[in-house]
Chains A and B, each alone.
Chain A
Amino acid sequence: MHLFAKKLVAGGFLRQEDAEYLIPLCGPPRIVPASANFFPHEHHARHATVILSGVACRYKMIADGRRQIVALLFPGDVNGLCDAVVPPPSGFFGALRACTISQLQYKDLQRIRTEFPQIDVALWAETVSHIAIAEEWLFNIGQRDALERVAHLLCEIIFRHSRVGLVGEPIELKMPLTQNELADSTGLSPVHVNRTLNELRAKKIIGTQPHVLAVMNWNRLKSIGGFDPRYLQFSQSPTGEHLFSTNRIGSASQRSGGQTDHR
């Protein structure tokens, strides 16, 4: 299934029949080469971008070349859902690895908002999830030391891939970021990132094979990074029953109706 819809269905925010309506709205897949900018944020896009494969990021630059990656986007994530409503912040949106993307047109988002509030809730969940990640990153950069920061980011990368089924057991995936990109995501120098990865390898927490992120000891990695995946989980019930049976999140009409009929 389309990874974006799969993530929202698994999180309990989107019902299967709604996913079948949403998926065709995402345009045909398109390939974007690595290191291409999709567009600067200030560009007036008319669509949100769904990442189907690869790695994208939002980043900001200082004239002397310093770069901060402010958000990573992995398969199943969407960039720019809010930009249809509020002008986007300054910065850039680029592909770190070659990406397959599809586009969700703003006019279709508008229609979803008015005609399909239950899908709109799922899109809000996606947006709120990105805010939760951003807060966690702020915390990471503000308070954790180098080892904790890198461990936390590695846990997040693994978890975000696992919830769309791209990581299983054993925990292993092609390393999605270079050391420089890890450094720019964590506010560390590449030397510190290198040192930290070596330390994690020496302790047999991650594997030594180059370009592969293999976790040998998930519990240790989690505990070093202080990683609590709740900020990446959409709902407490993976089946979504909790959400749809109690209408704790929903449009006004759903709340007043108090029933589970979303159409």
Chain B
Amino acid sequence: LAALPSVAEGRLIIVDGKLVGILCLLNDEYADQSRKWFPEVMLGSLSRHCRASDAMFADLDEARSWLQRVLTQQVEASEEDVGRVLSRGQG
């Protein structure tokens, strides 16, 4: 974290044994965002969620439920894709 002096702590986000992102705890320099957890990096198709305005958490529990929500959305979206492909196949 030497390259990021404004980050107090970090956590790897691992889902089903796979690394999907990194959470950082912001230090006191951030005014209203200070001491909040923030997804510094999200990998692959989760990357877009880094820029969401709601991606800022008071504690790790909040971060966990956010991640749960994001992953559920992701699964639903990919099921929709599969559904669309199937219906196109039938048509």
Chain A interfacial positions (CB closer than 8 Å to B): 64-66, 180, 183, 188-191, 194-195, 198-199
Contact = CB atoms under 8 A, between A and B. Distances in A.
Given A191-B38, A195-B6, A198-B6, A65 B52 contact: yes
Contact of A66 (B4, B26, B38, B48): B48
Nearest to A180: B53
Nearest to B30: A194
Nearest to A196: B6
A191 B26 contact: yes
Nearest to B29: A198
Interface in B54-84: 55-56
Chain A contact residues, majority secondary structure: helix
Contacts of A199: 6
Contacts, number: 31
Contacts of B38: 189, 191
Nearest to A195: B6
Q: Which of B6, B31, B51, B52 lies at the interface centre, i.e. has the most chain A CB atoms within 10 A of its CB?
A: B51
B6 A189 contact: no
A64 B31 CA distance: 26
Q: Which of B26, B53, B55 lies at the interface centre, i.e. has the most chain A CB atoms within 10 A of its CB?
A: B53
B44 to A, nearest CB: 17
A66 B48 CA distance: 9
B50 interface: yes
Given A190-B53, A191-B30, A198-B29, 10 more contacts: A64-B52, A65-B52, A66-B52, A189-B51, A189-B55, A190-B33, A194-B31, A195-B6, A195-B29, A195-B30
A183 B55 CA distance: 14
Contacts of A189: 38, 50-51, 55
A191 B55 CA distance: 10
A183 B51 contact: yes
A237 to B, nearest CB: 43
Nearest to A210: B31
Nearest to B36: A191
Contacts of A66: 48, 51-52
A191 B29 contact: no
Contacts of B55: 189
Nearest to B31: A194
Contacts of B6: 195, 198-199
A211 B51 CA distance: 23
